[in-house]
Structure 1
Amino acid sequence: MKKKAYNGYKSFQYLESGKDYKPYPLAKEINRVEPFNYPVNDSQEQEVQAILEEEYIISLHEHTFVCPEDVNQIFEFRRQGRDWTGYEGLSVSGLDVVFENFMDGTALITSQAGWKWNDVIHDLGIRYSDFAHQDMVVRAHTLEDIERAKKEGKIAFVTSLESATQIENEIDRVDVLYGLGVRVMGIAYSEGNSLGGGLKEDPTFGLTKFGHKVVERMNKLGMTIDVSHCNDRTALDTIEASSKPIFITHVGARALWNTNRMKPDNILKACAERGGVIGIEAAPHTTLTEKHIEHNLESVMEHFEHCVKLCGIDHVSFGLDTLYGDHVGLHHAFANQLSIGDSHKGQAFDEVAYVEGVENPSEAYINVVRWLVDHEYTREDIRKVMGQNILRVLKDTWVK
């Protein structure tokens, strides 16, 4: 597979380790766990490589940061306010566009709870400073930026935030975030906020009057809306309130796995009927199924096929929600802060150490393409779910 235009740069190598920042041993970006290549024959692999070369491969939701090797160091690591990006791993991922969601739910510089305005701005600025010192990642503010990155063999990063909690009750902060490059934003995370209800809230807690104003402002600005972590009422209210299509960037079907984190069929259909796109999730212990009770690529793809049958091939994509490091351990560390118990409340499951086949960004999207080729999806359908569906929504929602 052709690699991206990567010159070996590591995050913050323009600074002096131990003097300008405290160093931490970081997780491997490549081969942290046993590599998994979805099995295909030689002719299928040729088609896979042609797709990776010729088509847009887009992740609708990712965290490309590199976790400390010892996940127990994560709190002091995050308080430093400096995250490393997995450039080496991304260079072999096949990805052309990443909707980068940073780590603002765990931004702990000034608080114990995350989602504080100053911490979010700090987090964006530090990462942007790092991006400015390398030449593989392009910050994408427009569709033209995305097209340019693909032509140049680089990766376009679309700045995204999982929640609008940090704007508090200040609607003009949405404009500020847009000015700082944010092009996709969620309404709420697990906890409710001034806009609406998150996954752990009363299911009758819907979009507030202020939330309606924010939806209208995001539509006017050209910032795409995400409802992945909203409760059902807020998700439906947002879909109905938005004059433009929205994303559910990383999710699965509750019909297959009955937990709060998954969305019921009526919400998935409502999103699609308004022109939106659903990104299939693969973070540990989310997109399980009764048929594939051990979380792996097969269970993820069962959610994909359910959503395709329900909503149509034009409204499904992938936001696998991976990172570099021990994702399961990270969930354990932040279980209370991220309300993971509330998100996964419902069916019991046996924990896995990692999600085989989609453990990290380097292998996840290539394996998805292999699976699609092996299951005889047409090139046109693969084009849609791997990128074109997402680009269509951006054309409808971003500034022309």
Structure 2
Amino acid sequence: MLEPAERYTGYTAYDYLEPGVDYREFAYAKQIGRVPEYQGLALSDDQAERAARLLREETVISLHEHVQVFPEDMGQLRDHIRQGREPTGYEGLSRSGLTAVFDNGMDGTCCISSDAGWKYQDVLFDLGVRMADLAHQDYVIKGETLKDIQYAKETGRVAHIFALEAATPIENEVDRLDVLYGFGVRQMGIAYSEANYLGSGLKERGDGGLTYFGERAVARMNKLGIAIDISHSGDRTCVDVIKASTKPVFITHAGARGLWPTNRMKTDETIVECAKRGGVIGIEAAPHTTLSPEHPRHSLESVMDHFRYCVDLVGIEHVSFGPDTLYGDHVGLHHAFASQLSIGQAHGHVDYEEVEYVDGVENPTEAMANIIGWLVKHDYSDDEIRLVVGGNTLRVLEEVWV
């Protein structure tokens, strides 16, 4: 476990407000020690020292997380969300070793005014409140450019990059992309499991591909400098987006369907087409996603099976990590929002053993540290580790961001 970053002063979310007066207080999950530390690596002293050095020295970027903290009592989840004041896990981030993190916030659970979620005004409220909180401390900074990531690295900070898993809130208004960019959004998905004006999500029975409006939206995202994510899009829509975009695209958080046959995983064709055009796949670790025949009980080992599969398929230059973790009971969140998150349709008819948490990649604090430890244990070189924990992502951002 890392010590807190030197620059972190102990700030907690919304310290500038008065709890019970300005907002309703909830008891939140522990950011550190909610579950036992992972014991599966068993590194030698030399390996542990090398892993710590790499985590400390390299530019470490997670392509996909939700770095807010959830209520300790998930029965209070709806009331907490309707308040619209998600707390960023500053303490956990201070021990993570991350240089930059793509944070998707409330995302598919953005249900401030409607249980259906994805309302434009709700998303703007969520973004604005989170940014107001970031502005009241000096450790986690708003990341919008490559210079911001470099500055975070040089000064011992974390660059927090706002992202959305779907463009659903723009409805049929392409100019809303400009507004969201102005609010700091620098990465955006096409569709989140359900179809929208742009294209099909991965849960739908049929996939009509990228729509004409979707083509306009992709073109606008390219012009603005918003990185495109196809993690939750349907198979045909994924390939259409890759071909329509003038810039490389991300699969920020997924795995390989060739290893685990669910809609939530990507086909070999999609992964290959993404890589052929310079894109990158970030390997997913949210509960009950990246399972494998060799490791059907979800853990770090299951996740890394998908990493190896994708490296063998497209080369190490096109693989990174988007663990998709949070602070709190992720499985409980899935249970509470099974319909919005399309859990059943994403898994289809594949049976799996439910776990309480994914051992080794339970939250944003431990995810990249344990991934680096695994890579060290399995004799990946410093150059290879540098690529997959940040270098590949930076290469794409250099081409996509303005």
TM bracket, shorter-chain basis = over 0.9
Give distance in 1, aligned partners of 2:36 and 2:237.
40
Question: 1:203: Cα distance to partner?
Answer: 3.3
2:197 counterpart SS class:
coil
1:195 equivalent in structure 2: 198
2:78 equivalent in structure 1: 75
Alignment deviations for residues 128-155 of structure 1 (CA, whole Å, 9 cap, x no partner): 0110111111111110011000110000
Q: Is this contact kept in 2: 1:3–1:94, CA < 8 A? A: no
Match for residue 333 of structure 1 among 331, 336, 343: 336
Are 1:14 and 2:16 an aligned pair?
yes
Q: Is this contact kept in 1: 2:263–2:347, CA < 8 A? A: yes
Question: 1:202: Cα distance to partner?
Answer: 2.9
Q: Give RMSD over aligned pairs.
A: 0.9
Alignment deviations for residues 288-317 of structure 1 (CA, whole Å, 9 cap, x no partner): 011101000000000000000001000000
1:301 equivalent in structure 2: 304
1:91 equivalent in structure 2: 94
Q: TM-score, normalised by structure 2?
A: 0.98
Give distance in 1, aligned partners of 2:156 and 2:25.
31
Match for residue 382 of structure 2 among 372, 379, 383: 379
Alignment deviations for residues 64-94 of structure 1 (CA, whole Å, 9 cap, x no partner): 0101001111111101101011110111111
Q: Is this contact kept in 1: 2:198–2:215, CA < 8 A? A: yes
1:215 equivalent in structure 2: 218
The letter for the 1-side match of 2:28 is L
Give distance in 2, aligned partners of 1:304 and 1:259.
17
Give distance in 1, aligned partners of 2:398 and 2:278.
12
2:141 equivalent in structure 1: 138
Give distance in 2, aligned partners of 1:47 and 1:382.
11
1:361 counterpart SS class:
coil
2:164 equivalent in structure 1: 161
Q: How does 1:227-242 map to 2 (within 5 A)?
A: 227-242=230-245
Match for residue 28 of structure 2 among 26, 29, 39: 26
Are 1:58 and 2:45 an aligned pair?
no
Q: Is this contact kept in 2: 1:104–1:123, CA < 8 A? A: no
1:253 counterpart SS class:
coil
Q: Is this contact kept in 2: 1:184–1:224, CA < 8 A? A: yes
Give distance in 2, aligned partners of 1:270 and 1:202.
23
Question: 1:198: Cα distance to partner?
Answer: 0.6
Query: Gaps (5+ residues) in structure 1?
Result: none
2:365 counterpart SS class:
helix
Give distance in 2, aligned partners of 1:208 and 1:285.
31
Question: 1:106: Cα distance to partner?
Answer: 1.1
Deviates more, 1:104-113 or 1:263-272: 104-113
Alignment deviations for residues 355-399 of structure 1 (CA, whole Å, 9 cap, x no partner): 000011111111000000000000000000000000000001010
Question: 1:2: Cα distance to partner?
Answer: 5.8
The letter for the 2-side match of 1:133 is H
Q: Percent identity between the aligned chains?
A: 59
Q: How many corresponding residue pairs?
A: 399
Give distance in 2, aligned partners of 1:157 and 1:119.
20
Q: Is this contact kept in 2: 1:165–1:187, CA < 8 A? A: yes
Alignment deviations for residues 221-262 of structure 1 (CA, whole Å, 9 cap, x no partner): 111100000010111110011011000000000011000000
Q: TM-score, normalised by structure 1?
A: 0.98
2:253 equivalent in structure 1: 250
The letter for the 2-side match of 1:23 is E
1:225 counterpart SS class:
strand
Query: Gaps (5+ residues) in structure 2?
Result: none
2:367 equivalent in structure 1: 364
Give distance in 1, aligned partners of 2:59 and 2:134.
22
Structure 1 residue ranges, 4+ long, deviating more than 4 angstroms after superposition: none
Q: Is this contact kept in 2: 1:372–1:382, CA < 8 A? A: yes
